[in-house]
Structure 1
Amino acid sequence: MRIAFDLDGTLIDSAPEIRGIANGILAEEGRAPLSLAEATGFIGSGAGVFIARMRAARDLPESAQEDLRARFEARYEVSFGLTRLYPGVPRAREALAAAGHRLGLCTNKPIGPTRAVLAHLGLTGIFSAVFGGDSLSVRKPDPAPLLAALGAMGSGPCLYIGDSEVDAETAQRAGVPFLLYTEGYRKTPAEELPQAGRFSDFGELTDRIARLAE
């Protein structure tokens, strides 16, 4: 099976890292820091949307958008100290690969920071296809990045695994079964999102996928 994963909120908990970078920039601008809940709520639609939401929350002008985004992304590519894999991800990844599944990544994180954090966490070479938020001219929930990632993995049954409303909509628009990781950055009740199933522990993932495949 071809299995594509989201990244932030699905494989990695990056919210503390993103919050720290954002708060460093806000301090330089003389603005109050974001809470972890605020930062988490702003994640999911790419760096540009994150910065726009941060600006609105701290009354920063629209004219500052591109400068703030450039400063954010420059730090984002080299800041990893607070980013962690969710528990059980390495073992689940090994089990899926051993079972013959092909693994890919489809995230709204820009491709530069995506590749940098994969290298930092020892995941380089694990995914046969990696698509970031700027790999194409559109990003999730447009289905094109997911379809491109899955297409790059060949043919056969497929599945998308993510944690958010954006991921669920992307899979639905692509016509791809969606498996929801419930411990990420979702705001909507899990049962309200379109899905083929959900899980809260990566130790469950291999069996969950085997049951879906049946």
Structure 2
Amino acid sequence: MARIVFDLDGTLINSAPEIQFVANSLLADRGLDPLSLQETIGFIGNGAAVLIEKMSLARGIEPSEHASLLATLEERYMHSSDKSEVYPNVVAALDNLHGAGHRLGVCTNKPLAPAKAVLAHLDLAKHFDVVLGGDSLPQRKPDPAPLHATFDALGEGPVIYVGDSDVDAETAHRAGVSFLLFTKGYCKVPHAELPHHALFDDFARLPELVEALV
């Protein structure tokens, strides 16, 4: 059976409204204009530290404040999950894949503690044997090291990565693994320009795509 690793934000869950809410709470503390949802989506994908850097640049916040902002963002995100939603048919697809004997993991650039917190809050944690966050290793995606580490922790078997973004596509390409691209996430470039083995816009299709690759 296969080892299947998923990205989190924009792949399994629509978390952009949650991230927007928490980021805007930081801006409100400083009397600054809030981020739009589209701005927030544009900042997602390379981890919380990069989000803070992009948000600070957009709102004129000094680099000296980045570390404090990052710590506050992670703390507030730990206790804020009500605005994140699981994409339709994700749970059924995970149940199907697990029932078929595949081993499942998550590799995300979100810091590990908030990633585990939102997975638990949305009752998804039980589906995954391994979860790696953006702070689990010195490297983060699109460096392939976190993806390789997640696959290694799942044992042996064919490998498939499922993600939604240009960062995920580059990660899979650099890792040399099969990539299934979910098209309703936070991709910043046309999907046709990204390396992938198949596109899908509904998780109901995922089990058949996995079986075709296996």
Q: TM over 0.5: same fold?
A: yes
Matched, 1:39 2:35: no
Kept in 1, the 8 Å contact 2:7–2:163? The answer is: yes
Note the residue ranges of structure 2 that are not aligned, 5 or more in a row: none
Q: CA deviation at 1:192?
A: 0.5
Kept in 1, the 8 Å contact 2:17–2:37? The answer is: yes
Q: Percent identity?
A: 55
1:53 aligned residue: 54
Within 5 A, what are the aligned runs for 1:171-190? Answer: 171-190=172-191
| Amino acid in structure 2 at the alignment position of 1:112 | A
Kept in 1, the 8 Å contact 2:160–2:178? The answer is: yes
Q: Aligned partners of 2:93, 2:123: CA distance in 1, in Å?
A: 14
1:84 aligned residue: 85
Q: Aligned partners of 1:156, 1:198: CA distance in 2, in Å?
A: 22
Please list every run of at least 4 consecutive aligned residues from structure 1 whose deviation after the TM superposition is greater than 6 angstroms.
Answer: none
Q: Aligned partners of 1:80, 1:57: CA distance in 2, in Å?
A: 25
2:76 aligned residue: 75
Q: Aligned partners of 1:134, 1:211: CA distance in 2, in Å?
A: 33
Deviation per residue, 1:22-58 (Å, 9 max, x gap): 1111011111000000001100000000000000111
Aligned pairs, number: 213
1:24 aligned residue: 25
Q: CA deviation at 1:208?
A: 1.3
For 1:72, what is the secondary structure of its paired residue? helix
2:161 aligned residue: 160
Deviation per residue, 1:84-106 (Å, 9 max, x gap): 00011010010111111110110
Q: Aligned partners of 1:196, 1:85: CA distance in 2, in Å?
A: 24
For 2:97, what is the secondary structure of its paired residue? helix
2:107 aligned residue: 106
Q: Aligned partners of 2:10, 2:146: CA distance in 1, in Å?
A: 18
Q: Aligned partners of 2:190, 2:147: CA distance in 1, in Å?
A: 23
Q: Aligned partners of 2:102, 2:205: CA distance in 1, in Å?
A: 16
For 1:185, what is the secondary structure of its paired residue? coil
Deviation per residue, 1:7-31 (Å, 9 max, x gap): 0000000000000011111011111
| Amino acid in structure 2 at the alignment position of 1:38 | E
| Amino acid in structure 2 at the alignment position of 1:130 | V
Q: CA deviation at 1:124?
A: 2.1
1:148 aligned residue: 149
Q: Aligned partners of 1:115, 1:130: CA distance in 2, in Å?
A: 8
Note the residue ranges of structure 1 that are not aligned, 5 or more in a row: none
Q: CA deviation at 1:129?
A: 1.1
1:118 aligned residue: 119
1:138 aligned residue: 139
Q: Aligned partners of 2:185, 2:125: CA distance in 1, in Å?
A: 22
For 2:160, what is the secondary structure of its paired residue? strand
Cα RMSD of the aligned pairs, angstroms, is 0.7
More displaced stretch, 120-129 vs 138-147: 120-129
Return the TM-score normalized by structure 2: 0.98
Q: CA deviation at 1:143?
A: 0.4
| Amino acid in structure 2 at the alignment position of 1:171 | A
Matched, 1:204 2:211: no
For 2:209, what is the secondary structure of its paired residue? helix
